[in-house]
């Protein structure tokens, strides 16, 4: 019993901790909005900080809380297909059109675009810096067998990257081409990989600008029209999923394409640079 | 090494700054994992007790299954819970997906086998010592399980802590079923994953250190409690 | 049975009711048999074992045991180590089922037999809680109403001289105190039969003496005692009847005085002489 004063204190302290935790469980969570919608979106919008900028503005105006689940475009679409989101906000036009065509979503609107950039090591072993022709640059990387880190995750960025390869007449395959590395993960993880192994990678500009672990990577190719990256927003079809919060979801969509929403998008800057360009029609 | 030094600085700054969004994440982390472990314990102790005290066909298979499930990959547990809670799934009508409730369910699935398998061992050993006495007093099996749980509470605490450690450190399952929604389902581990994907390795590591610190505090309290109990209760 | 503990017990043909009710322990030194403790309930004894055998792993550990235990008596199962004494006790108490033969309670209260007996083990198994709480627990398991548990528990602790230690943690008591607590716990249940398996085997002489005194007090309150021991002195001090076991067989059953004066078998004679009996 030599440590009596201490041990005597210990039990009440633990009891207090437990009851505090219990009280936390019972207490309603603060700052819970009256109404909320779930938006399945992409890592590029979330990681760049765009939603952090937009959502408070929308909530102040509408009282609706927006909960964003950030996934790759392919995964986000599957989540929306299962009815687990109210709104889909992604960037791969062909898939989006198919999504609507198959009846999963309604009322697709174009919201904004940004662009992809090819990043690579400053030493530029494939010698692609300076060109604006993405396909030519990709062909040169393949020729030099310079390491290239691909998302490999069926995301919008991955689909855009495959499109560029295709336009260069190539179809690199990780199994056959050891320089082509599929990370199977998000943009950030892929950039981390590229930074670690001095590889080239295709990235959306928003994520790139916000990315903190650039290492020796720099932008080597940008400005090619094929790198244009449009974002669309779609309401998940309430006829198919009756629980979808159609009214609130539609308000969010309407706001995004309204002058207020469009100027909010234009006003979002990373390191002083505008990242997303509103183009709602 | 610069990352590590940066991480230490970040961890200290995070703790010192008591940033409200960090406090929110820490509270949610504790809340989710604590609830999951509480729920799992409520399921696992009777289950472990039943496996320790009852003999029935298939018992051995169940024990092996439980032991195997201790190593259940979190992503698999998360996927299973996702499919169940998805609007298109069996329990979709509950609307639990992408809520802390779904995260609690997923962690509960991960933790229950751990607590059940470890407590079965503890209770089986205790039963060997107490069986005759309790039967002589006329205690039924259910009562015996309750008594053994109370008698073994300090050893069982270790089992529960092992479960808590798994729950709080797990990222794969809560990411899938919680969605890592800011201010809503973002916990320490998913925040770490997010900061890593943003390339902010120092912040990610700082959060990681905070998580380790929390884990140490919980385990140290339990250790001291156990030591104290040993002296007091013999 | 708890309800009945406050009632005056029914007068019995064999012995008059103890005045003052069952909780009143008969004055020390009073000889002979009194009514069973703490009940106006029907007696469960006698216990009849008929041709009882118990085998484990294909090996017969006790064989062909036939005997009767009568109410109010103190029966000592005597014999060398490995004779099957503890096993026989467990068969009587119902912790083990015989491989062959029958163990039957013949008294009018036989249906309630399991609720009206208790056992104290060689090494007491105490719960990790206070001495008092250990006794209260046993009462709770037997369904005694909450409000009565405390009083009954304190009475039992008083009987075994443990009342001053009621608040102490059971597991940190000395060996002798622990065994007395196990006795108090058993006694609180007001059993008609109390089985004791080598209750003093691991105790020093002073502690053993305290335990024997507690057993005596319990018996004087009317409980039949069935005890195993390999300690001759203890057998002589406590036994009314002796069952002498040897290698899993019952060789002798006799009143204690007769047994100790003139054992009938060479094995018992050797055992009484203190020779190593194999």
- Is C95 within 8 Å of B132 when comparing Cβ atoms? yes
- 3-state SS class at C244: strand
Torsion of Cα atoms, B135 then B140 then B142 then B146, to 10°: -50
What residues of A are in the B interface, CB distance below 8 Å?
1, 7, 10-11, 13-14, 17, 21, 24-25, 31, 38, 43, 47, 51-52, 67-70, 82-84, 185-189, 191-192, 195, 207, 210-214, 241, 243
* Partners of residue B147 in chain C, C-beta under 8 Å: 127, 137
Q: Pairing between strand C100-105 and C47-56? A: antiparallel
Tokens of C216: 């005596």
Cα separation, C159 vs C161, whole angstroms: 6
Tokens 């305290």 sit at which residue? Answer: C210
Q: How many B×C Cβ pairs under 8 Å?
A: 44
Chains near B (3 or more Cβ pairs under 8 Å):
A, C
Distance CA A224, CA A239 (A): 40
At C189 the pLDDT is 92
CA atoms within 13 A on the CB side of C165: 22
For residue C251, give the 3-state DSSP assignment.
Answer: strand
Q: What is the pLDDT of residue B1?
A: 56
Domains recognised in chain A with CATH numbers:
35-114+230-278 (3.40.190.10), 115-227 (3.40.190.10)
> pLDDT band at A27, cuts 50/70/90?
very low
Owner of token pair 């810096």: A129
Mean pLDDT over C139-165 rounds to: 93
- Residue A82 has its nearest CB partner, among B87, B194, B225, at B87
Which residues does B61 contact at the CB level (< 8 Å), separation at least 6?
none
B224/B216 Cα distance (integer angstroms): 12
Answer for the pair C15, C85: CB distance below 8 angstroms, yes or no: no
Chain B CB within 8 Å of residue C142 CB: yes
* Mutation choice for C interface testing from B130, B131, B134, B137 by most C CBs within 10 A: B137
User: What integer is the mean pLDDT of A217-244?
Assistant: 93
How much is the average pLDDT of C59-77?
Answer: 93
**Residue B17 neighbours by CB under 8 Å, 6+ apart:** none
Considering only alpha carbons, which residue of chain C is nearest residue B144? C141
Taking an 8 Å cut-off on Cβ atoms, the answer to whether A25 and B180 are in contact is: no
Average pLDDT, chain C: 84
Identify all chain C residues contacting B130, using CB atoms and an 8 Å cutoff.
Answer: 125
A193 contacts in chain B (CB < 8 Å): none
Helix, strand, coil abundance in chain B, percent, nearest 5? 80, 0, 20
Both tokens of A197, joined, read: 């192994």
Counting as low any pLDDT under 50, the low residues of chain B are: none
Contact indicator for B22, B14 with CB cutoff of 8 Å: yes
Report H helices in C221-262.
232-238, 256-261
Q: How far apart are CA B222 and CA A4, in angstroms?
A: 17
A41's tokens: 């979106």
Of B218, B171, B177, B217, the C-alpha closest to B197 is: B171
Whether B233 and C169 lie within 8 Å, measured CB to CB: yes
Q: Is C8 inside a domain boundary?
A: no
d(CA C79, CA C59): 20
How far is A276 from A265, CA to CA, in rounded Å?
A: 6
Residue C255 Cα to chain centre, angstroms: 17
Longest dimension (CA), chain C: 55
Element (H, E) at C179: helix C175-188
Range of the domain at C232: 42-272
DSSP letter for A104, please. Answer: S
- Any CB–CB contact under 8 A between B179 and chain A? yes
Q: Which residues of C touch B234 (CB under 8 A)?
A: 128, 169-172
Average pLDDT over residues A203-217: 89
Q: Percent of chain C at pLDDT above 90?
A: 61
CA–CA min distance A169, chain B (Å): 31
Look at residue A109 and give its three-state secondary structure: strand
CATH number of residue C185's parent domain = 3.40.50.300
* Residues C133, C153: Cα–Cα separation, whole Å: 8
Q: Who's near B40: CB < 8 A, 6+ residues apart?
A: B107, B108, B111, B112, B115, B163, B167
Quick one: pLDDT at residue A273? 87
Partner residue opposite B197 with nearest CB, options A13, A14, A43: A43
Hey, is the C-beta of B88 within 8 angstroms of any chain A C-beta?
yes
What H or E segment, with its residue span, contains residue A124?
Answer: none
- Asked if the model's pLDDT at residue C28 lies above 60, the reply is no
CA-based nearest distance B228→chain A, Å: 7
d(CA B163, CA B38): 10
Q: What is the CATH classification number for the domain harbouring B173?
A: 1.10.3720.10
Contact residues for A112 (Cβ-Cβ < 8 A; gap 6+) = A230, A231, A262, A265, A276, A277, A278, A279, A280
Q: What is the pLDDT of residue A44?
A: 83
Cβ A128 vs Cβ A120: under 8 Å: yes
Q: Does C100 touch chain B (CB under 8 A)?
A: no
CB–CB contact B143 C141 (8 Å): yes
| Total number of domains in chain C | 1
What backbone torsions phi and psi does residue C156 show, to the nearest 5 degrees? -65, -40
Average pLDDT over residues A82-86: 94
pLDDT tier at C40, thresholds 50, 70, 90: low
Q: Choose from A12, A64, A84, A155 for mutation: most chain B CBs within 10 A.
A: A84
Closest residue in B to C114 (Cα) is B138
pLDDT(C31) > 80: no
Chain B residues in contact with chain C using a Cβ-Cβ cutoff of 8 Å: 129-130, 132-139, 143, 147, 150-151, 232-234
Judge: B198–A188 Cβ closer than 8 Å, yes or no. Answer: yes
Cα(B98)–Cα(C197) distance, rounded to whole angstroms?
Answer: 61
Spatial contact of C154 and C203, defined as CB atoms under 8 Å apart:
no
Whole-angstrom distance, CA of residue A105 vs CA of residue A238: 8
Residue C3 has pLDDT above 90, yes or no: no
For residue C50, the Cα-to-chain-centroid distance in whole angstroms is 20
Tell me: ipTM over 0.95.
no
pLDDT digits (tens, 9 = 90+) for C188-241: 999 999 999 999 988 889 889 988 998 998 999 889 999 999 888 999 999 999
Structural domain boundaries, residue B196: 2-233
Q: Which tens digit of pLDDT belongs to each residue from A45-62?
A: 888 889 999 999 999 999
Q: Which of C1, C138, C179, C194 to mutate to test the interface with B (most CBs of B within 10 A)?
A: C138
| Chain B residues lying within 8 Å of A10, measured CB to CB | 221, 224-225, 228
Domain tally, chain B: 1
Question: So what's the pLDDT on residue C179?
Answer: 92
- C249-255: strand order across its sheet: C117-120, C193-197, C224-229, C74-78, C241-246, C249-255
Measure in Å the smallest separation between the Cα of B54 and chain A Cα atoms: 32
């Amino acid at each position: 019993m030599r440590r009596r004063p201490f041990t005597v204190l210990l039990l009440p302290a633990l009891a207090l901790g437990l009851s505090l935790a219990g009280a936390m469980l019972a207490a309603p969570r603060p700052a819970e909005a009256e109404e909320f919608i779930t938006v399945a979106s992409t890592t590029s919008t979330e990681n760049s900080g765009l939603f952090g900028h937009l959502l408070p503005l929308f909530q102040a105006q509408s009282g609706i809380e927006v909960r964003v689940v950030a996934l790759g475009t392919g995964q986000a679409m599957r989540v929306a297909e299962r009815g687990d989101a109210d709104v889909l906000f992604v960037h791969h036009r062909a898939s989006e059109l198919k999504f609507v065509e198959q009846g999963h979503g309604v009322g697709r609107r174009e919201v904004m675009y940004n662009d992809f950039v090819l990043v690579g090591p400053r030493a530029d072993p494939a010698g692609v810096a300076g060109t604006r022709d993405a396909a030519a640059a990709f062909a040169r990387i393949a020729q030099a067998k310079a390491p290239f880190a691909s998302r490999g995750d069926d995301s919008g960025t991955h689909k855009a990257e495959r499109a560029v390869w295709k336009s260069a007449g190539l179809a690199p395959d990780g199994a056959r081409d050891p320089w082509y590395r599929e990370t199977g993960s998000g943009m950030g993880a892929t950039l981390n990989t590229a930074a670690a192994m001095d590889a080239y990678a295709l990235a959306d500009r928003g994520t790139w600008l916000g990315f903190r672990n650039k290492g020796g990577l720099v932008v080597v190719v940008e400005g090619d029209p094929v790198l244009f990256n449009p974002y669309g927003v779609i309401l998940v079809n309430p006829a198919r999923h009756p629980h979808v919060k159609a009214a609130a979801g539609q308000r969010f969509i309407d706001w995004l394409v309204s002058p207020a929403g469009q100027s909010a998008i234009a006003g979002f800057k990373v390191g002083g640079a505008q990242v997303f360009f509103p183009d709602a029609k | 090494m610069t990352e590590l030094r940066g991480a230490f600085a970040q961890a200290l700054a995070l703790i010192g700054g008591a940033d409200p969004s960090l406090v929110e994440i820490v509270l949610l982390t504790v809340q989710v994992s604590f609830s999951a472990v509480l729920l799992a314990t409520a399921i696992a102790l009777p289950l472990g007790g039943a496996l320790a005290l009852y003999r029935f066909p298939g018992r051995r298979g169940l024990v092996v299954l439980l032991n195997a499930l201790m190593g259940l990959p979190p992503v698999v547990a998360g996927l299973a819970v996702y499919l169940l809670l998805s609007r298109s799934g069996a329990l979709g009508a509950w609307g639990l997906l992408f809520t802390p409730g779904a995260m609690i369910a997923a962690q509960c699935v991960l933790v229950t086998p751990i607590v059940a398998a470890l407590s079965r061992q503890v209770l089986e050993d205790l039963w060997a010592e107490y069986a005759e006495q309790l039967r002589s007093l006329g205690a039924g099996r259910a009562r015996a399980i309750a008594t053994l749980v109370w008698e073994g509470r300090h050893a069982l605490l270790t089992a529960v802590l092992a479960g808590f450690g798994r729950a709080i450190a797990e990222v794969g399952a809560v990411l899938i079923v919680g969605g890592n929604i800011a201010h809503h389902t973002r916990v320490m581990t998913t925040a770490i994953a997010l900061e890593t994907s943003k390339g902010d390795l120092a912040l990610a590591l700082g959060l990681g250190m905070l998580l380790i610190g929390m884990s140490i505090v919980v385990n140290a309290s339990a250790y001291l409690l156990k030591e104290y109990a040993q002296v007091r209760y013999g | 049975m708890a309800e009945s503990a406050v009632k005056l017990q029914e007068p019995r043909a064999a012995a008059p009711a103890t005045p003052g009710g069952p909780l009143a322990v008969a004055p020390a030194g009073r000889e002979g048999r009194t009514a069973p403790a703490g009940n106006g309930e029907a007696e469960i004894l006698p216990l009849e074992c008929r041709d009882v055998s118990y085998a484990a792993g294909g090996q017969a550990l006790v064989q062909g045991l036939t005997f009767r235990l009568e109410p109010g008596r103190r029966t000592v199962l005597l014999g060398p180590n490995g004779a099957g004494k503890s096993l026989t006790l467990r068969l009587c108490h119902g912790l083990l089922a015989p491989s062959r033969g029958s163990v039957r309670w013949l008294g009018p209260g036989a249906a309630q037999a399991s609720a009206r007996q208790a056992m104290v083990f060689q090494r007491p198994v105490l719960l990790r809680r206070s001495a008092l709480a250990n006794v209260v627990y046993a009462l709770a398991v037997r369904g005694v109403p909450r409000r009565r548990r405390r009083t009954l528990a304190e009475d039992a602790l008083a009987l075994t001289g443990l009342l001053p230690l009621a608040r102490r943690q059971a597991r940190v008591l000395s060996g002798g105190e622990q065994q007395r607590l196990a006795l108090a716990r058993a006694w609180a249940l007001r059993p008609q039969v109390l089985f004791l398996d080598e209750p003093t085997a691991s105790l020093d002489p002073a502690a053993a003496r305290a335990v024997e005194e507690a057993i005596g007090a319990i018996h004087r309150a009317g409980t039949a005692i069935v005890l195993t021991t390999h300690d001759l002195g203890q057998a002589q001090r406590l036994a009314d009847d002796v069952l002498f076991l040897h290698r899993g067989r019952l060789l002798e059953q006799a009143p204690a005085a007769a047994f100790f004066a003139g054992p009938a078998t060479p094995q018992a004679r050797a055992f009484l002489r203190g020779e190593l009996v194999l």
